Amino acid sequence: MTTVVSTGSYDYLTSALTTMPTPVTTSSTWPQVPRWLTLRQSLRMARDPVGNLNKVLAAYGDTVHLYLGGVKPSIVTRDPALVQHILQKNHRRYHKSDLTHGLLRYLGKGLLTNEGADWLRQRRLIQPGFHRQRLAGLTRLMRAAADEWVAELAALGAAQGPVEVEAHAAMTRVAFRIVARSVFGDSLSDEELMQLSDWLTAIQLFYVTTIRQPYLRPVQHLRGRYRQHDDLARRLRELVRAAIARHRTAQAAAPADAAPPDDLLQMLLDARYEDTGEPMTEHQLIDELNILLVAGHETSANALAWAFFLLARHPEVQDRLAEEINRELPNGQEVEFAGLPRLSYALQVVQEAMRLYPPAWIIDRVATEDDEFQGVAIPKGSVFSLYVYGVHHHAGLWPDAEAFRPERFAADAQPALPTYGYLPFGGGPRLCVGSHFALTELQLVLIQTLRRYRVLPTAETPPGMNPLVTLRPAGELRLRFEQR
**Closest separation between CB of residue 85 and ligand HEM, Å?**
14
Q: Does 463 bind ligand HEM (CB under 6 A)?
A: no
**Burial class (CB within 10 angstroms; exposed 0-12, middle 13-18, buried 19+) of 22:** exposed
Q: Does 292 bind ligand HEM (CB under 6 A)?
A: yes
Q: Which of 95, 101, 121, 123 binds ligand HEM (CB under 6 A)?
A: 123
Coil, helix or strand at residue 137: helix
Q: How many helices (H) and strands (E) does the chain have?
A: 19, 12
Q: Does 170 bind ligand HEM (CB under 6 A)?
A: no
Q: Does 425 bind ligand HEM (CB under 6 A)?
A: yes
**Closest separation between CB of residue 24 and ligand HEM, Å?**
30
- d(CA 439, CA 346) in angstroms, rounded, equals 10
Rg (CA), the chain: 23
**DSSP letters spanning 209-275:** HHHH-GGGHHHHHHTTHHHHHHHHHHHHHHHHHHHHHHHHHHHHHS-TTSPPP-SHHHHHHH---TT
Judged by beta carbon, residue 163 or residue 292, the one nearer ligand HEM is 292
Q: Which of 111, 240, 285, 310 binds ligand HEM (CB under 6 A)?
A: 111
- d(CA 481, CA 452) in angstroms, rounded, equals 10
Q: Does 426 bind ligand HEM (CB under 6 A)?
A: yes
Q: Does 434 bind ligand HEM (CB under 6 A)?
A: yes
Q: Which residue is nearest to ligand HEM (CB)?
A: 434
Strands, E assignment, 37-156: 63-68, 72-77, 94-95
Interface pattern 350-389 for ligand HEM (x via CB under 6 A): ---------xx--x--------------------------
Beta bridge partners of 454: 482
Q: Which of 229, 392, 430, 480 binds ligand HEM (CB under 6 A)?
A: 430
Q: Does 179 bind ligand HEM (CB under 6 A)?
A: yes
Residue type, 203: I
Is 409 labelled a binding residue? no
Judged by beta carbon, residue 20 or residue 271, the one nearer ligand HEM is 271
Q: Does 420 bind ligand HEM (CB under 6 A)?
A: no
**Closest separation between CB of residue 130 and ligand HEM, Å?**
7
Structural contact between residues 355 and 390, judged by C-beta atoms closer than 8 angstroms? no
Judged by beta carbon, residue 345 or residue 361, the one nearer ligand HEM is 361
For the chain, percent helix, then strand, then coil, each to nearest 5? 55, 10, 35
Degrees, nearest 5: CA angle 220-233-466:
60
Q: Does 296 bind ligand HEM (CB under 6 A)?
A: yes
Whole-angstrom CA distances from 261 to 254, 268, 287, 291 are 10, 12, 21, 21
Which residues of the chain form contacts with ligand HEM (CB under 6 A)? 96, 111-112, 123, 179, 291-292, 295-296, 299-300, 303, 359-360, 363, 424-426, 430, 432-434, 437-438
Which amino acids are annotated as binding site for heme, given as ranges? 432
